[in-house]
């Protein structure tokens, strides 16, 4: 018998503030607090923000985080992780990959704020970095869109319809841009701050050919099913 993992989904979870090397890079609590204050200032300058996947009580900035010098250190570290840690794992020859930010934005999830299920088609990898989070303001949930099949195997522990992470300050998550995901409602009285982004890579001559295209608006991603606030499928 041959058992294969067909089209495995590669995600990355990386935590900062826990190792001495992170402090040498400047990834400190003081730096994250400075980023939080800048996001608060952005909200004052643009109180309406924009409405995409953010639902309930939440604020989202327009694109441009990667052009703000306050966030340069963070953006530089994210691009390093993609190019020098993720890409070699995917098969790129070390040192040949480059990472470029396509777009990036800030999020604040207030009490009862959540993000509806969505994906970021047309890019390579997407991600989120948590500027201020205590782990209880709503999980990020990655959803298997083949859950019709999964639903026929409810008692199989190795087959899940979703994967959940409870983010804390300094956590970085990377995932394929086409992976469905959502943020569960914030049931606390605390606000959570995060930076989301989509990134591209160069075409590689190492046999791993990855070419990005423009990022599609979330409302044009073409859902053909409905999902409730907890990420469960309905009306299938």
* Residue-range domains of the chain with CATH: 13-203 (2.60.120.620)
Using CA atoms, how far apart are residues 73 and 22, in angstroms rounded to an integer? 12
Residue among 49, 27, 29, 30 nearest 39 (CA): 49
Give the position of tokens 């300094």.
170
Residue 84 carries which DSSP code?
Answer: I
Residues of the chain by 3-state class (helix, strand, coil), percent to 5: 25, 30, 50
Q: How far is CA 214 from the centre of its chain?
A: 17
Ordered alpha helix ranges (H), the chain: 20-24, 29-45, 72-81, 87-90, 147-150
Give me 216's structure tokens.
């599609």
Half-sphere exposure of 41 (CA within 13 A, CB side): 9
| Beta-strand relationship, 192-201 and 99-109 | antiparallel
pLDDT tens for the chain, 236 residues: list them: 888 877 888 999 999 876 655 555 788 889 999 999 999 999 999 999 988 777 778 899 999 999 999 999 999 999 999 999 999 888 888 888 899 999 999 999 999 988 888 888 878 899 999 999 999 999 999 988 765 555 555 666 666 678 889 999 999 999 999 999 999 999 999 999 999 999 988 755 544 444 443 333 443 333 334 445 554 544 43
Residue 90, C-beta contacts closer than 8 angstroms, at least 6 positions apart: 10, 208
Q: How far is CA 41 from the centre of its chain?
A: 23
Residue 134 carries which DSSP code?
Answer: B
């Amino acid at each position: 018998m041959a058992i294969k993992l067909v089209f495995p989904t590669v995600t990355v979870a990386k935590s900062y503030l826990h190792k001495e090397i992170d402090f040498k890079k400047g990834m400190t609590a003081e730096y994250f607090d400075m980023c939080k204050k800048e996001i608060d200032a952005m909200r004052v300058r643009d109180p309406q923000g924009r409405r995409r996947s953010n639902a309930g009580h939440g604020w989202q900035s327009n694109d441009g985080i990667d052009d703000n010098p306050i966030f340069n250190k963070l953006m530089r570290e994210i691009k390093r992780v993609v190019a020098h840690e993720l890409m070699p794992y995917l098969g790129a020859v070390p040192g040949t990959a480059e990472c470029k930010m396509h777009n990036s934005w800030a999020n604040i999830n207030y009490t009862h704020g959540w993000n509806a299920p969505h994906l970021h088609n047309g890019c390579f990898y997407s991600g989120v970095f948590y500027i201020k989070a205590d782990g209880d303001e709503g999980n990020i949930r990655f959803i298997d869109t083949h859950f019709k099949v999964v639903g026929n195997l409810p008692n199989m522990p190795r087959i899940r319809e979703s994967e959940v992470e409870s983010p804390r300050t300094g956590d970085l998550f990377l995932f394929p841009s086409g992976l469905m995901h959502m943020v569960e409602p914030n049931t606390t009285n605390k606000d959570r701050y995060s930076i989301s982004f989509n990134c591209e890579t160069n075409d590689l001559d190492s046999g791993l050919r990855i070419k990005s295209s423009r990022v599609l608006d979330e409302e044009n991603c073409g859902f053909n099913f409905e999902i409730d606030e907890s990420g469960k499928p309905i009306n299938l």
